[in-house]
Chain A
Amino acid sequence: MWGDVERAFGNGVHRVALSVAGFLPGVITMLLVMAFAVAIAFLVRFALRRSLSGIEFDRRVHRWGFSSTGEWTPQSSPTAIAAHSGFWFILLVGFLAGLKTLNTSVTDALAAGLLSFIPNLLAAAVVFAVGISAARFFARTALINAVNMQIRSARLISLCVKWLIVLFSIALALQQLKIGGAVLAVAFGVVFGCIGLALALAIGLGSREAETREEQERWPEGRRHTSENGDEIHHM
């Protein structure tokens, strides 16, 4: 009986040893892949730092309208952030590639799923970045034009334009990430519908006021001796 127990334990240990022996090359390969990925990540970070410094990336980002970058510390400057992002991205890809080398069904499925998600992640990041840049540009355009038209609520208009574009780009990015689904589309449909209604009301009321003003100007007694802003100056 003791012999049977000993044999059963022996067989168990043998099976564990066999499976560890079968698993070990995968772990070693994964560690090698990770080590390689770390080396590549350091290289990428170094290359990004050098090349972005070379093209004065920080100053360009500042010129593109990210004025708050001036207050950032050197450790979190746009160049440093881009370099860190590159570093961690390579590490993530290396880790996923390493998981594949373990050759188990769970890790294979996990790695395949995460790797196939990377293009969507990149597309979402690009969409969001373009959206943020566009939002800043159009917000500035709206602000300057509204100020030139002497609209008192210029800042509010600019903020509305900015957040409208930011929200729109967030919606597009989430769609790329396949988050939200139909709920997101419906929510944005409702938001844009409301905005359309508000614009229609504003244009309608504005036109009525403009028509009244034009009507008054047709009559000689209502004609002003100065232009609307009191500006009798010929600038050109």
Chain B
Amino acid sequence: MGVSASDTGEAVRTGSRVREEVSRSFPDRPAMVLLLCDGETPAIPVEPPSGNGVSLMPWSHPGQSAVEALLRAGEVFDASACALVIADGDDGPTTKRRLLAPVLEDSFDLVCPCYATHRFEAVLTTAIVYPLTRALFGKRLRQPVGEELAVSHRFVKHLLGEAWHADPAHALDRIWLVTEGLSRGFRVCQAHLGPRRRQSPGAEADLSTSLAQVVGLLFHVMRLHAPAWHRMKNTETPKTYGEPETSAGDIGQPQVAPMLSAFRLGFKELGQIWGEVLSPQTLFALKRLALAPEESFRLEDALWARIVYEFAVGYHLALMDRTLLLRSMTPLYLGWVAGFVREVRDLEPDAVEARAERLCRAFEVGKPYLISRWRWPDRFNP
């Protein structure tokens, strides 16, 4: 197991807790907990192995991401399973065994995390990442871009071999990794890991940059695996380990007005640029929406799915500079978020999930349109 943390002390504390849990959960399996550190190996005392030989040791990976370091270590040690854990600063028992157990006991190749999130957390995942990956690749993985994960020996070999050589520029980025598993027929499941540490909104990168990175990578893997997702017809829920939990605490009520204002400004100024990507019907619907009052503002699910699909086609055809194309999506995304906030601010968690489910259905219903435009873009050009 690899433990990634920005702080050495936190890494050691989490590593010790993970080691205890692994020793207890898999007593007859040799294991190793690596404290992944970017750069020079810090002066961490190498702790002696626990009762069943689980040792805790620092693992320096200069120039590599935590995932790559873990997978390369797994290859070196010929590990049957590797799991990446993010230090959370807690002192209580961990739930990380749920990551390893599906690989070791049920022969899964990839285990994705499923965190208990507040309704206004991971909104980009709810808006685009989850519905799009689900509609494309047929697996209802609720959080495909979670930071933690577990992979089998077979999948490690594939990732560091054939997949790496096919696309080294994006290799091991989280969405790339997950879609590689989904599109190549590896066995994928998800595990509930409880709540995760919450970042302050200010700690997140600039929204348009994050959006461009995440959505750009999604659109890139769409190009990479087009034959695979063209074939996928239905969606199914993957095997899920653990019980869902509800997120504790409140993160406040977001204000809708600034997001609406961003959307309206975007429509006014970027309408011409969107016109190069979006169809006339979509533009007309957006024009009507820009005039709608705040009380009734809502970006319909079908329209949102259509917008995302048309941007994906625009990215695929390189209708304009791809980074600019992705960045120009920000006001549209904020428009969707404004409607989402209005709808779910007073709902129970189950109802919020049902709302996300309706959005996913809209993406699934719109998939034939995406495939048509992807295959025959000229038919839709005026």
Residues on A lying within 8 angstroms of B by beta carbon are 63, 65, 67, 137, 140-141, 143-148, 150, 152, 154-155, 225-227, 229-236
State A63–B320 Cα separation when bound (angstroms). 5
B261 contacts across to A, CB distance below 8 A: 150
Please report whether the interface of chain B is mostly helix, strand, loop or mixed according to DSSP: helix
Known: A147-B331, A154-B269. A232 touches B321 (CB 8 A): no
- Which residues from 186 to 236 on chain B have a C-beta closer than 8 Å to any C-beta of chain A? 198-199, 201-202, 204-205, 207-208, 210-211, 214
Known: A147-B265, A148-B327. A230 touches B258 (CB 8 A): yes
State A154–B324 Cα separation when bound (angstroms). 15
Query: Interface with A: B3-11, B57-65, B121-129, B283-291, which one?
Result: B121-129
Known: A230-B257, A232-B253. A147 touches B266 (CB 8 A): yes
Can you pick out 25 interface pairs between chain A and chain B where the beta carbons lie within 8 Å of each other?
A65-B320, A67-B275, A140-B320, A140-B324, A145-B208, A146-B269, A147-B265, A147-B266, A147-B330, A147-B331, A148-B327, A150-B265, A154-B265, A155-B269, A226-B254, A227-B201, A229-B262, A230-B258, A233-B341, A234-B120, A234-B123, A234-B198, A234-B204, A235-B123, A235-B204
Q: Which of A141, A226, A230, A233 contacts B123 (CB 8 A)?
A: A233
Q: Is the CB of B204 within 8 A of A231?
A: no
Q: How far is the CB of B227 from chain A (nearest CB, A)?
A: 24
Q: Is the CB of A152 within 8 A of B318?
A: no
Q: Does B150 contact A (CB under 8 A)?
A: no
Interface size bracket, B side: 35 or more
B254 contacts across to A, CB distance below 8 A: 226, 230-233
Q: Which of B122, B198, B324 contacts A144 (CB 8 A)?
A: B324
Q: Count of A-B contacts with CB under 8 A?
A: 107
A226 contacts across to B, CB distance below 8 A: 252, 254-255
Q: Is the CB of B199 within 8 A of A234?
A: yes
With A140-B320, A234-B120 known, 17 other A-B pairs at CB within 8 A are A140-B321, A140-B324, A144-B270, A146-B269, A148-B208, A150-B258, A154-B265, A227-B202, A229-B255, A229-B262, A231-B258, A232-B251, A233-B121, A234-B122, A234-B123, A235-B210, A236-B125
State A146–B328 Cα separation when bound (angstroms). 10
Q: Which of A65, A143, A235 contacts B207 (CB 8 A)?
A: A235
B257: nearest residue on chain A (CB-CB)?
Answer: A230
A231: nearest residue on chain B (CB-CB)?
Answer: B254
B382: nearest residue on chain A (CB-CB)?
Answer: A70
Q: How far is the CB of B127 from chain A (nearest CB, A)?
A: 9
